[in-house]
């Protein structure tokens, strides 16, 4: 209450007690990581009637889909002129609701359909949908400790700027991207021996779309002049959002180490690379980019860093052959896209009738009963992961994790009824 005419407020002086206990919260399912696969898992679990806690280290929801400004949903459709949607669930909601406002646009390219989206609109969709579903949220939370006993994650210790928090749940989803939950639990994880490069994406505005270069134009000019401009990567592209005079530019390669000092240094290096890319575009393609200005720098876009050791390691050969699995839970047709070289990447596209699949066993750690991984930290070799870590199959994996935990209850995800699980996921596996 304001006192007197001076407008002063009553204020107390307090000192933190060292004996202050951590706050506690429980849920049926705790999802750690609020990127697109974690969002899919959390919303699907809530729609199944489960109480859900959604945790993320950033102070906002959406993960890379929002904060790295990826700008495109890849892997959502099959290939060829008759491309069809392969993943549904929240993908249907996003296409319908953002599409109604022009904030999501499916664009047919030479290989498949890619969905261009406005990251601000997606961010608000995620926030309003999560809240409407009754999902409790903890953002800006750093995972400090995981108590793992008798093959089950029992409790998480989180640090936030508002104090410590202890989390208990019946089941957990590791959607961190770096397998941080399972790593902290002491379970085995895989790491590449050589860097798999990420990207510093920028959004440019004040562009002239009618003069936009072709993909071939970018490739040829970068191959010829990347060194002249001090560019690390010698390929890349710009996605123009139709009729808005803006584009998402993806022409950098940045290492994404897991140590705190290295990660911070590389994040700054990525922005320096992006600035050089902007100068390249303005000088080499002045009709389209001459008046370009950076509207936003995304957080570093991370492709692959650390992932779990699951019951099954998805292989590149299984991807290439379109191997079916009795426990398949998601599918895509996206190429092998391995960013293992600073100057470029391996791009191995597939035929119009090709599909490949993700088995549930690649989401399940061999030595745990109440946790699954989703997104880019499932088990696979590096090439296989590069084809399934994109938006479409990540949405499918998140939904599958929610259903598997729902079916497992207080039992084990190792023993889920696969027939029943498949019936629940039929819209992501057939048609």
Give just the sign of the alpha carbon dihedral 260, 263, 267, 272: positive
pLDDT in tens, 221-240: 999 999 999 999 999 999 99
CA 317 – CA 381 distance, rounded (Å): 10
The residue ranges of every structural domain in the chain are 23-192+303-431, 202-297
Per-residue pLDDT, averaged over 147-174, amounts to 97
- 317 burial via Cβ count (<10 Å: 0-12, 13-18, 19+): exposed
Residue 4 pLDDT greater than 60, yes or no: no
- The pTM of the full predicted model, rounded to 2 decimals, is 0.95
CA distances to 227, 248, 347, 364 from 236, rounded to whole Å, are: 14, 11, 12, 34
Q: What is the reported pLDDT for 431?
A: 77
pLDDT in tens, 407-423: 999 999 999 999 999 99
Which tokens sit at 195? 């860097």
Per-residue pLDDT, averaged over 174-203, amounts to 97
Q: What is the reported pLDDT for 1?
A: 46
pLDDT in tens, 203-219: 999 999 999 999 999 99
Q: What is the reported pLDDT for 5?
A: 55
CA 400 – CA 380 distance, rounded (Å): 17
pLDDT in tens, 270-307: 999 999 999 999 999 999 999 999 999 999 999 999 99
Which tokens sit at 314? 């998805």
Q: What pLDDT band is residue 6 in, cutting at 50, 70 and 90?
A: low
CA 129 – CA 117 distance, rounded (Å): 17
**Which residue reads 């089941």 in tokens?**
171
Task: Write down the CATH superfamily of domain 23-192+303-431.
Answer: FAD/NAD(P)-binding domain (3.50.50.60)
Across the chain, what does the average pLDDT equal? 96
Beta bridge partners of 247: 204, 240
CA 424 – CA 360 distance, rounded (Å): 14
End-to-end C-alpha distance for the chain, whole angstroms: 62
Residue 82 CB neighbour total at 10 angstroms: 8
Q: What is the reported pLDDT for 122?
A: 98
Which tokens sit at 409? 């209850």
* Residue-by-residue DSSP string for 317-343: HHHHHT---TTEEEEE-PPEEEEEETT
Residue 259 pLDDT greater than 50, yes or no: yes
**Which residue reads 């906002």 in tokens?**
60
Q: 15-24, 167-176, 419-428: which has the minimum mean pLDDT?
A: 15-24
Q: What SS3 class is residue 372?
A: strand
């Amino acid at each position: 209450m304001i006192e007197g005419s001076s407008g002063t407020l009553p204020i107390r002086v307090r000192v933190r007690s060292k004996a202050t206990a951590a706050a506690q919260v429980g849920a049926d399912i705790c999802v750690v990581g609020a990127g697109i696969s974690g969002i899919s898992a959390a919303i699907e679990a809530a729609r199944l009637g489960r109480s859900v806690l959604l945790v993320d280290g950033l102070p906002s929801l959406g993960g890379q889909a929002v904060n790295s400004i990826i700008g495109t949903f890849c892997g959502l459709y099959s290939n060829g002129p008759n491309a069809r949607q392969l993943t549904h669930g929240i993908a249907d909601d996003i296409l319908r609701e953002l599409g109604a406002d022009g904030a999501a646009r499916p664009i047919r390219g030479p290989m498949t359909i890619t969905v261009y989206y406005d990251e601000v609109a997606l961010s608000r969709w995620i926030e309003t949908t999560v809240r409407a579903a009754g999902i409790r949220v903890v953002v800006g939370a750093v995972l400090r400790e995981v108590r793992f006993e008798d093959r089950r994650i029992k409790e998480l210790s989180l640090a936030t700027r508002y104090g410590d928090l202890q989390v208990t749940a019946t089941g957990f989803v590791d959607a961190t991207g770096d397998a941080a939950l399972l790593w902290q639990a002491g379970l085995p994880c895989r790491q590449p021996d050589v860097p798999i490069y990420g990207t510093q994406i920028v959004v440019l505005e004040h562009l002239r779309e009618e003069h936009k270069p072709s993909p071939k134009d970018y490739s040829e000019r970068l191959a010829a002049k990347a060194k002249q401009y001090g560019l690390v990567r010698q390929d890349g592209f710009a996605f123009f959002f139709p009729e808005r005079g803006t584009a998402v530019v993806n022409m950098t390669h940045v290492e994404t180490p897991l140590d705190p000092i290295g990660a911070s240094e590389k994040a700054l290096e990525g922005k320096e690379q992006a600035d050089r890319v902007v100068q390249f575009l303005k000088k080499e393609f002045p009709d389209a980019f001459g008046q370009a200005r950076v509207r936003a720098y995304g957080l570093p876009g991370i492709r692959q860093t650390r992932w779990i050791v699951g019951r099954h390691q998805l292989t590149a050969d299984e991807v290439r052959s379109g191997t079916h699995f009795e426990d398949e839970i998601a599918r895509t047709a996206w190429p092998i896209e391995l960013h293992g070289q600073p100057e470029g990447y391996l791009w191995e596209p597939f035929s119009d009738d090709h599909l490949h699949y993700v088995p549930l066993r690649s989401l399940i750690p061999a030595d745990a009963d109440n946790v699954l991984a989703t997104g880019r930290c499932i088990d696979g070799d590096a090439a296989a992961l590069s084809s399934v870590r994109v938006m479409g199959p990540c949405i499918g994996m998140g939904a599958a994790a929610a259903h598997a935990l729902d079916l497992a209850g207080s039992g084990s995800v190792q023993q889920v009824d696969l027939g029943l699980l498949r019936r629940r996921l039929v819209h992501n596996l057939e048609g």
